[in-house]
Amino acid sequence: ETGVTQTPRHLVMGMTNKKSLKCEQHLGHNAMYWYKQSAKKPLELMFVYSLEERVENNSVPSRFSPECPNSSHLFLHLHTLQPEDSALYLCASSQGGLAGVETQYFGPGTRLLVL
């Protein structure tokens, strides 16, 4: 499945580092999402972009900064993270609109470890 790709697949960073996660979708969709998947917690929606505009920000700390330069690319910029931010970060995309159901398609995720 190559519809939604994420890089890197694994990342280890210190608390003072700055890094970025990248997501790219090849499905022609117009909405993109970041989710956080932690052990023993439900999947948490972090950000939603529709038509390159952020439409949802679920009370995410400012040390996470999303960027959506176009409808195919989504970034998550990370700085001064905490160990509790270690998780699997999943990107998804969907085709938005009033008609029909928006099925979200997920990438493989980036496994992040903050030391």
Interface residues with other proteins (CB under 8 A)?
A: 1, 4, 6, 31, 33, 41-43, 45, 48-51, 53, 55-56, 90, 92, 94, 96-98, 101-109
Contact of 94 with 105, CB cutoff 8 Å? yes
In the complex, the smallest distance separating the C-beta of residue 102 from other proteins, rounded to whole angstroms, is: 4
In the complex, the smallest distance separating the C-beta of residue 104 from other proteins, rounded to whole angstroms, is: 6
Nearer to other proteins, 81 or 92 (CB): 92
* DSSP string across 83-108: GGG-EEEEEEEE---SSS----EE--
Cis peptide before 8 (omega within 30 of 0): yes
